[in-house]
Amino acid sequence: MAEHELSRKRQVVFIYSISCLIGIAMTFVAKGLLLAIQLSTNLFYFQSFSFSEHSPADHTLGWWSVGIPVIGGLIVGAMARWGSKAIRGHGIPEAMENILQRDSRIPRRITLLKPLSSAIAIGSGGPFGAEGPIIATGGALGSWIGQVLPVSSYERKILLASGAAAGMAAIFGTPLSAVMIAIELLLFEFRAKSFVPVALATVIASTLRGLLIGNESFFQMPSLGETNLTQLMVFLGFGVVMGLMCIFVTKSIYWIEDAFEKIPIHWMWWPALGGLAVGLIGMIEPRSLGVGYGNISMSLSGSLTVGAAASILVWKFLSWALALGSGTSGGTLAPLLTLGASFGFIVGTGITMIFPEWNIDPHAMALVGMAALFAGSSRALLTSVIFALEGTKQPLGLVPLLGCCSIAYVVSSLLMKNSIMTEKIVRRGLQVPHEYYPTQGTGKN
């Protein structure tokens, strides 16, 4: 009995150690993904072999730029057909599917193909962020290591979640929200044996991020003030609106995806069609192209006009919905944050003009808007709140964030059965846990 207990403890320490190594590796992988996106952007839009940071919106190609997302879509489609079909889609739903159906086994080639295809898709103008691809890549790396080493399927799930969370922490510098997204969307449980190794991986990734990427807040905005009762009521009412918006966004994405399924050509060509839409929309609103983290910061800082925010809201949504529905390689987090922040800024500015005595801060409304859209769409409530706090370093935003995101979550949950993360895999017949829970026992499979 004593020998068995000693062996169990050694295995626990072993898993913790491997998770730490995954955290180190994912920091460099995240940096590599960001550099690959920058290189791809410069090659496609500026015909320059450079890793310097440029936005596709600054190109001077005129109508020639319409063809760039099409070229990117053709490349991604070919990679999906002859490399791995698993690179298509958001990233997080695919990781969830591998956990629920395949004992956390992800094909090893995804570790290379997912970041490469995502860098091409984003660099060629795709309206996505780096977070979905890095979560998928980190999960693939953790799964790969878990397939090589002598571990159980449960421990492989922990390594997968460690890689996914470490990747998110390395991109955004948000270790706690990275742990929470692993708990809410990948582990579906809350106990030390599962979340401690994930936490260790994210702490290491966040620390090393300071050396490779930087320590500044990912999103910049003015300092927020205390929330009074009137303002809280406004934020709670806004939560209802955001819950309805979550439903609209999620249903729209899957309606477009269903429409692509009816096109009588091979799915390999769909990303090129989505790319054509991205290119045409990019001619109307160049800020819809590419990652667009700057759009979020502009909404949070109030450096946009209402008209500019409305333009980003409409055209970014259409570009992202059409591109993602086409089955290309891209994520959901950055577009959801962009849409929510833009909409929140518009609503906050409007309320300030109509009811100035309420003292509603448009910056605060943009902050809760971006978090609430993510909370209601993904059903990752705590992740959304903590991410907004960590990403902006605005502790006084906690009260409006928690209130608005909770209401958006409730409205979305009551009126829509599945989330933007789970709809796809539920359609494939998988049972998805709708809440995480504490468990007992060793969890050994």
In 24-57, which positions are buried (b, 16+ CB within 10 angstroms) versus exposed (e)?
Answer: bbbbebbbebbebbbbbbbbbbbeeeeeeeebbb
Q: What is the pLDDT of residue 443?
A: 42
- How far apart are alpha carbons 274 and 324 in whole angstroms? 8
Stretches where the chain sits below pLDDT 70 are: 1, 4, 90-91, 217, 431-445
164 class by beta-carbon count within 10 Å (0-12 exposed, 13-18 middle, 19+ buried): buried
- How far apart are alpha carbons 59 and 102 in whole angstroms? 43
- How far apart are alpha carbons 30 and 172 in whole angstroms? 10
Element at 360 (helix H, strand E): none
C-alpha pair distances (Å), 344 with each of 103, 243, 300, 383, 435: 40, 13, 9, 19, 28
Taking the CA atoms of 368, 371, 377 and 382 in sequence, report the sign of the dihedral they define. negative
SS (HEC) of 136-180: HHHHHHHHHHHHHCCCCHHHHHHHHHHHHHHHHHHHHCCHHHHHH
- How far apart are alpha carbons 439 and 346 in whole angstroms? 43
For residues 330, 332, 333, 338, the Cα torsion angle rounded to the nearest 10 degrees is: 100
Question: By three-state DSSP, how is residue 442 classified?
Answer: coil
Q: What is the pLDDT of residue 434?
A: 57
Q: What is the pLDDT of residue 444?
A: 42
Per the listing, tokens 């997912």 go with 114
C-alpha pair distances (Å), 409 with each of 8, 176, 249, 314: 39, 20, 14, 23
Per the listing, tokens 């409530």 go with 381
Q: Closest Cα to residue 370, out of 340, 391, 349, 346?
A: 340
Per the listing, tokens 């791995």 go with 84
- How far apart are alpha carbons 278 and 351 in whole angstroms? 32
Question: By three-state DSSP, how is residue 131 classified?
Answer: helix
- How far apart are alpha carbons 156 and 30 in whole angstroms? 21
Q: What is the pLDDT of residue 232?
A: 94
* Cβ neighbours of 356 (radius 10 Å): 9
CB 299 within 8 A of CB 366: yes
Q: What is the pLDDT of residue 191?
A: 80
Which residues on neighbouring strands pair with residue 437, listed in sequence order? 189
Domain architecture of the chain: domains with CATH: 2-212 (1.10.3080.10), 229-427 (1.10.3080.10)
- How far apart are alpha carbons 376 and 197 in whole angstroms? 28
- How far apart are alpha carbons 91 and 52 in whole angstroms? 26
